[in-house]
């Protein structure tokens, strides 16, 4: 019995000594153990592009007042029809003329619970593309006390084209920088990943300075028609915009064995 136990112990010990070493761990850990970590470099570039707004949205406030609500509503409607007819006859497309929902507010006397009159307020947003159309709108406002020019917002409709141009310029600069490093340092770089930011749109310095001057010098309108003494600042947006985009590309530094 003792002899059998001893033989089994010797066989077990021999098989243990003769076994090969076993590697255990996470696949990424084993990969880094067998192959050294990759050498990664990142090249980041930022490009900017300026553009002028090619569309303006002009806001008009139409305020009418009559002793009866029906009269105030009809007058407001007639004025909006007149504005639309004048603008379309000057070449503006009907789809570029938008009218908001009307609001009414009864006007009370000092010693009466009954309204002395009714007021109807409506806003029209008109999209224009040239100064001639703006002059037509300004003339309507000057000739009708019920029509008030309340502000202008600017838009740049070619944003997608500018974004594509920015991407092309930024990537071209990155690849130029890559070629420079490869030549000067004797490296071979292989792109393995990239990231980019959303295109940022902001006013140029000149546009921001103009906006500040307009606000400081008192570009304000008084909404007597629907708020007795409360002035409001005209909303200003930038007529000249600047787009900015940042792209970062990660490159793997290839060794001589990896280089084709």
CA–CA distance, 77 with 13 (Å, rounded to integer): 103
Q: Which domains does the chain have, with CATH numbers?
A: 35-54+157-260 (3.30.110.170), 55-155 (3.30.70.2970)
Show the beta-strand stretches assigned E in 67-188.
97-99, 103-108, 115-128, 147-155
Show the beta-strand stretches assigned E in 109-216.
115-128, 147-155, 189-196, 200-203
Half-sphere exposure of 118 (CA within 13 A, CB side): 14
Query: What is the structure's pLDDT at 240?
Result: 78
Query: What is the structure's pLDDT at 166?
Result: 93
Query: What is the structure's pLDDT at 47?
Result: 93
Q: How many residues does the chain have?
A: 260
Answer yes or no: are the C-beta atoms of 225 and 64 closer than 8 Å: no
* Residue numbers of the chain with a pLDDT score lower than 50: 2, 4-6, 8-10, 13, 15-21, 23, 206-207, 209-236
Query: What is the structure's pLDDT at 1?
Result: 52
Answer yes or no: are the C-beta atoms of 239 and 154 closer than 8 Å: yes
Per DSSP, 95 falls in state G
pLDDT tens readout for residues 191-239: 999 998 877 766 555 445 444 443 333 333 343 433 433 333 334 355 7
Query: What is the structure's pLDDT at 159?
Result: 87
Query: What is the structure's pLDDT at 216?
Result: 35
């Amino acid at each position: 019995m003792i002899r059998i136990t001893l033989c089994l112990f010797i066989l077990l010990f021999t098989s243990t000594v003769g076994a090969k070493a076993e590697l255990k761990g996470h696949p990424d850990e084993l990969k880094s153990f067998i192959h050294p970590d990759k050498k990664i470099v990142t090249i980041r570039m930022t490009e900017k592009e300026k553009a002028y707004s090619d569309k303006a949205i002009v806001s008009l406030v139409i305020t009418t007042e009559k002793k009866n609500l029906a009269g105030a509503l009809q007058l407001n409607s007639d004025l909006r029809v007149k504005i639309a007819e004048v603008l379309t006859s000057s070449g503006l497309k009907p789809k570029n003329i938008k009218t908001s929902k009307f609001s009414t507010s009864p006007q009370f006397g000092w010693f009466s619970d009954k309204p002395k009159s009714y007021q109807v307020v409506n806003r029209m947003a008109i999209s224009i593309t040239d100064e001639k159309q703006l002059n037509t709108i300004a003339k309507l406002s000057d000739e009708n006390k019920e029509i008030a020019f309340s502000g202008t917002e600017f838009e740049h409709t070619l944003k997608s084209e500018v974004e594509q141009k920015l991407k092309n310029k930024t990537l071209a600069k990155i690849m130029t920088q890559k070629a420079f490093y490869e030549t000067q340092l004797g490296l071979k770089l292989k792109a393995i990943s990239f990231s980019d930011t959303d295109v940022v749109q902001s006013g140029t310095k000149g546009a921001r300075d103009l906006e500040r001057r307009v606000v400081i010098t008192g570009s304000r309108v008084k909404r007597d028609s629907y708020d007795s003494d409360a002035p409001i600042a005209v909303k200003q947006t930038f007529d000249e915009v600047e787009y900015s985009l940042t792209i970062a590309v990660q490159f793997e530094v290839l060794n001589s064995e990896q280089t084709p």
